[in-house]
Amino acid sequence: MAMAFANENWNRHPLTAFSPSEGCAAWEPVDEEVSVTIDAPVYHDNAAKLELWSLFQAQTSPKCTVRSRGAGDVASVLAVAREHGCHFAILGGGTSPFKGASNAEGGITIDMGLLKNIELDPDSMEIAVGGGSLWADVYRFLDPRNLSATGTRNSLTGVVGSIIGGGISFFSQNHGWACDNVKQFEVVLANSSVVHASENENTDLFWALRGGGNNFGVVTSLTLEVFHQSPSYYTFQRWSMDILESVFDRFEALTLQMPPEIEMVATTLGWHVHTNQFVITERLIASEKPALPRTLPVPSSTQLKEIVESHVLDERIYQDTTLAMSEKMDRMNAAGFFNYFGSVTVKNNVKVFMAIADIFRDEVSSIKDTFGLQIYIVYNPLTVSTIEKMSRRGGNALGIRPGDGPLTIVNINLHWSDDGDTERMRSFMRRLRHRIRHVAASMDMLHPYLFQNHAFEEDDIFAGYGGENRDRLLRVRDAVDPDGVFARLQPGYYKLR
């Protein structure tokens, strides 16, 4: 389809170059116009501050926060921002870790939190979801109906933010990623017009919004597929670090050939501060109670020559709703800390898993004394079955092909308490990511894709989508936003370039 979004008759205002630290150069006329022309709750100065998950965002001070009640409010704010060259941010779930991602220092934060309406069409098995909904809201609505959706594994994540970044789900093995299950978006474009995008309407924009991030417009509502889902089994097993290789052998085998009842696998390697040791765990989500191993073989490479098997150290099995499972995952990511994320994608191979684990343990040894430290990495399978579902409805923008798989997305989670440690933590993240990428590349195990929802703030996300996809994303962006409103006035998060 031709990308004919830009209306040549709309009033174009020159955009002012700015540094986010400068705020809006002339705030008084912006403040007056926001207060007079926008029929939505508006909070100013200290009242505009927000309690958000990461301290990097919570300590950000917008000049004003507008609590949008719909697409019309968003359109009005964008009109003011365009006219005065004032920068803004869109706040959905607010779980992005880095400064400016969804809260505008010295600018306008558009808070979507009032847009939590959810409506079910049982005949088409679809739900309409407001642009400020969290996955907790969706699960709370669907669980009593024995339904679910491909939402993220943490309940407090915003629906829209996870989808425009990709969105790994509990149910991705059978249903694909979150972005692959959207049927329609309602979007406010840079010129304040409201459009819909689906596989039959504005198809280029529909494709771009599924993985292309916040470069194209503000999603104010969307329509998602839902499916029948009874309470699932959630399992947790902790193993001895002496058999790390065997745990990864099991992960590799599951990723290569996932049993039909298994819906999700996540293997986590972390530093446990309270016991002063590294721990390795495996979590499963399953539609039926899975047969879990009670022992795993001791690798021949270990020093335990006289022992051939190692027993599981801890095991828990629950049957619970999707909301309850996601709330369990929330406890791994407490609010009120400074946070960094990171992500690397590699091939499904135990040798590279072990190499990453060795680097992780070596690097963590240098930051163990950090106050309030939590550091762990999660190995997430990206199976061929899941990748195949990425071609639905014209495909998504991520640039992953079935022939690339199976893959493993390794996500890094880091938090700490004292801002004085921030530069040290930034250096740690730079070293860790660089060393992992270097060793994976040297083993011919590195894949260029970077998972946008969990990447480091310095990453060039779209380079990993491939040149063809990045060029197409740029064409869509230029068609829907020819004056670069979102590129220049919404500086937070990952920008196409």
Q: For residue 190, how far is the Cα from the chain centroid?
A: 23
**Residues in CB range of 10: below 8 A, 6 or more apart:** 191, 192, 193
| 3-class secondary structure, 332 | coil
> Using CA atoms, how far apart are residues 67 and 109, in angstroms rounded to an integer?
9
CA distance 261 to 170: 12
232-467 folds as Vanillyl-alcohol Oxidase; Chain A, domain 3 (3.40.462)
Contact status, residue 478 vs residue 445, Cβ threshold 8 Å:
no
| Topology agreement, domain 118-229 and domain 232-467 | no
Residue spans of the domains in the chain: they are 20-114, 118-229, 232-467
Let me know: does 357 contact 244? Beta carbons within 8 Å.
yes
Both tokens of 68, joined, read 């949008």
**Secondary structure (3-state) at 472:** helix
The answer to whether 9 and 210 have CB atoms below 8 angstroms apart is no
Determine what percent of the chain falls in helix, strand and coil, rounding each to the nearest 5.
Answer: 35, 25, 40
- N-term to C-term CA, the chain: 23
Tokens 């009640």, residue located: 69
At 369, which amino acid appears? D
Amino acid at 470: R
Identify the segments of the chain with pLDDT beneath 50. 1-23
Question: How many Cβ atoms from other residues are within 10 Å of residue 448's Cβ?
Answer: 14
Burial label, 33 (beta-carbon count in 10 A; 0-12, 13-18, 19+): middle
The DSSP-derived string for 385-420 is HHHHGGGGGG--SS---GGG-SEEEEEEEEEES-GG
Do residues 451 and 166 make contact, with C-beta atoms less than 8 angstroms apart? yes
d(CA 439, CA 446): 8
Q: Up-side HSE of residue 50: CA atoms within 13 Å toward CB?
A: 33
What is the value of pTM for the model shown? 0.93
Q: What is the pLDDT of residue 9?
A: 33
**313-352: buried (b, 16+ CB within 10 Å) or exposed (e) per residue?**
eeeeeeebbbbbbbbbbbeebebebbbbbbbbbbbbbbeb
CATH number 1.20.120.1730 is the correct assignment for the domain at 118-229 = no
Pairing, β 262-272 against β 88-91: unpaired
Structure confidence at residue 257 (pLDDT): 96
DSSP, residue by residue, 11-47: ---PPPP--GGG--SSHHHHHHHHHHH--S-EEEGGG
**Domain 20-114 listed as CATH 3.30.43.10:** yes
User: Residue 115 has which token pair?
Assistant: 């847009």
What's the pLDDT tens digit per position in 412-450? 999 999 999 999 999 999 999 999 999 999 999 999 999
The amino acid at 215:
N
Burial of residue 288 (number of CB atoms within 10 Å: 0-12, 13-18, 19+): exposed
Helix (H, G, I), strand (E, B) or coil at 345: strand
CA dist 304 and 315 (Å) reads: 23
DSSP of 232-252, one letter per residue? EEEEEEEE-GGGHHHHHHHHH
Sheet of 182-188, strand order: 118-121, 126-130, 218-225, 182-188, 194-198
DSSP string, 152-214: -SSTTSBHHHHHHH----TTHHHH--GGGGEEEEEEE-TTS-EEEEESSSSHHHHHHHTTSTT
Q: CA distances (Å), 404 to each of 50, 172, 256, 315, 448, in order?
A: 42, 17, 13, 34, 11
3-state secondary structure of 58: helix
In tens, the pLDDT along 227-260 reads 999 999 999 999 999 999 999 999 999 999 999 9
Q: Please choose, from the candidates 75, 61, 143, the residue with its C-alpha nearest in 3D space to the C-alpha of residue 103.
A: 61
**Measured between alpha carbons, how far is 356 from 261 in angstroms, rounded to an integer?**
29
> In this structure, are residues 105 and 60 in contact, taking their beta carbons and an 8 Å threshold?
yes
Q: Which two tokens stand for residue 243?
A: 């058999």
Distance, CA of 481 to CA of 145 (rounded, Å): 40
Q: How many residues does the chain have?
A: 497
Closest C-alpha among 78, 106, 103 to residue 92: 103
